Amino acid sequence: MDQLEGKQWKVVSRLSGGRFSDVFKIERVVEGKESELRMGEPVNYSIFALKVVDPDECKPPHNIRNEIQILQKLEEHRRRSPTRRTNNVVTLVDVIYNNVEYGLIFPYYDLSLTAYIKKNIKTRSKFNLDGSISPERINNVPIATTKSLLYGILNGLSWIHDLGIIHRDINPNNILLANDKEISPVIIDFGISYEEPDNNGLESCNMKFTDIATGFYKAPELLLSKRDYSNKVDIWAVGILMTLLLSEDGREVFDPDATNSDLVLLSNIISVFGSPPTDWSDCVGLSSFEAMNTTFFKKPAKPLEEIIPRLFKNPHLPEFGPLRKLFVGLTQYENKHRLSAADALKLLC
């Protein structure tokens, strides 16, 4: 963006990009001033992340102006209620606009949760009975670290849910870490988030967009086109995240092709978690739900030992009981039985 030079910003590198935005690593010289993000400690250089979005390129539910409004609301609450603020939700540092594009400036974090898990996957040779050798992936994310990660994510969700915000895209790429030593996750990317009661006039509460969430992390009610869903869609996503963290190979519990089709994902969910109850109150009356009840054979849920196997290989650990209860509570079909973020936190305290 051409306004960067005027504000003494320097682009260091391009970090990532997608259909609707590009993200850059930037540097700022702050001569003789103090960085607001360093607790009053004077610094000469600071590293930040810059998200650049052309609003004309956004397609609903993506909306950069709404994202800015939501982030500014969160910043206002941080200032007004410092005792209730959280470090588990990204801070908006500044907004730049050049009459074409918006630039959102955030603190820079070194790792996504995806990258952190990848760093903790070891590959070794597996000798098969037929004499062949194949690579085997071993997930080495410590169970205690998994608990800390989940606590931080749920703490961030509890805060935004209390403020009437549904994130709508919880997945490991939208969870960042400062480094692989400090396990304090930060939720980012509010590009498709929803602010109650009507998303700033964009969506009524009972006609929300269902084309939200990423791949495996879509809640089952979204796949059945339920439009008056709640923040429990974020909670389901954390449950699926647990299947990744507690897998033996660092992969989610679903088949890879489930990311390409809502119907395949729904079939995978039923294969893993069993068929939803025929009187599922959240979806009774939806034509898609009634069709599902007549199309899919009834299936029982897989044993938890198969869904989150690494946890059950360590039943002696103090984290075993709380994480087991947490997973069951996060992955209930019925929204009234699916834990809130605040109640989920209590299991991890």
pLDDT value of position 18: 77
pLDDT value of position 146: 98
Among 299, 301, 310, 303, residue whose Cα is nearest residue 332: 301
- pLDDT tens for each residue of 143-180: 999 999 999 999 999 999 999 999 999 999 999 998 88
pLDDT value of position 17: 81
* Topology given in CATH for the domain delimited by 9-30+44-107: Phosphorylase Kinase; domain 1 (3.30.200)
Q: Read off the pLDDT band of 92 (50, 70, 90).
A: very high
d(CA 174, CA 187): 6
pLDDT winner (highest mean) among 16-20, 219-223, 289-293: 219-223
| Those residues with Cβ within 8 angstroms of residue 98's Cβ, 6 or more apart along the chain or in another chain | 1, 2, 3
Tokens of 142: 């410590």
- pLDDT tens for each residue of 250-264: 999 999 999 999 999
pLDDT value of position 31: 57
First to last CA, the chain: 44
pLDDT value of position 40: 41
DSSP string of 81-112? -GGG--SSBPPP-EEEE-SS-EEEEEE--SEE
Of the two residues 182 and 96, the one the predictor is more confident about is 96
- pLDDT tens for each residue of 186-222: 999 999 999 999 999 999 999 999 999 999 999 999 9
Torsion, CA 51, CA 18, CA 71, CA 161, rounded to 10? -150
HEC letters along 28-53: EECCCCECCCCCCCECCEEEEEEEEE
pLDDT value of position 82: 78
Of the two residues 349 and 337, the one the predictor is more confident about is 337
* 32-36, 292-296, 315-319: the lowest-pLDDT one: 32-36
Mean predicted confidence (pLDDT) in 218-240: 98
d(CA 199, CA 226): 17
Tokens 């918006």 correspond to what residue? 102
pLDDT value of position 44: 38
DSSP string of 113-169? HHHHHHHTEEEEEEE-TTS-EEEEEEE---HHHHHHHHHHHHHHHHHHHHTTEE---
Q: Where on the phi/psi map is residue 158: left (φ > 0), alpha (ψ -120 to 50), or beta? A: alpha
pLDDT value of position 43: 37
pLDDT value of position 20: 82
Mean predicted confidence (pLDDT) in 108-118: 96
pLDDT at 22 over 70: yes
| Those residues with Cβ within 8 angstroms of residue 28's Cβ, 6 or more apart along the chain or in another chain | 7, 8, 9, 10, 45, 46, 48
d(CA 309, CA 304): 7
How do beta strands 45-53 and 94-97 pair?
Answer: unpaired
d(CA 333, CA 168): 17
Asked if the domains at 9-30+44-107 and 111-347 fall in one CATH topology, the answer is no
pLDDT value of position 239: 99
* 30-44, 113-127, 132-146, 289-303: the lowest-pLDDT one: 30-44
CATH of segment(s) 111-347: 1.10.510.10
pLDDT at 38 over 50: no
Give the relative orientation of helices 143-162 and 320-330 as an angle to the nearest 10 degrees. Answer: 40
Every domain of the chain and the residues it spans: 9-30+44-107, 111-347
pLDDT value of position 100: 92
pLDDT at 81 over 90: no
Give the relative orientation of helices 143-162 and 232-245 as an angle to the nearest 10 degrees. Answer: 170
Q: Read off the pLDDT band of 10 (50, 70, 90).
A: confident
pLDDT value of position 124: 83
The DSSP bridge partners found for residue 107 are 48
Report how far apart, in Å, the C-alpha atoms of 338 and of each of 29, 234, 236, 327 are. 47, 11, 8, 10
Torsion, CA 233, CA 236, CA 49, CA 94, rounded to 10? 40
How far, rounded to the nearest angstrom, does the alpha carbon of residue 12 sit from its chain's CA centroid?
26
Q: Read off the pLDDT band of 61 (50, 70, 90).
A: very high
Q: Where on the phi/psi map is residue 297: left (φ > 0), alpha (ψ -120 to 50), or beta? A: beta
Tokens of 115: 């990258």
Mean predicted confidence (pLDDT) in 100-115: 95
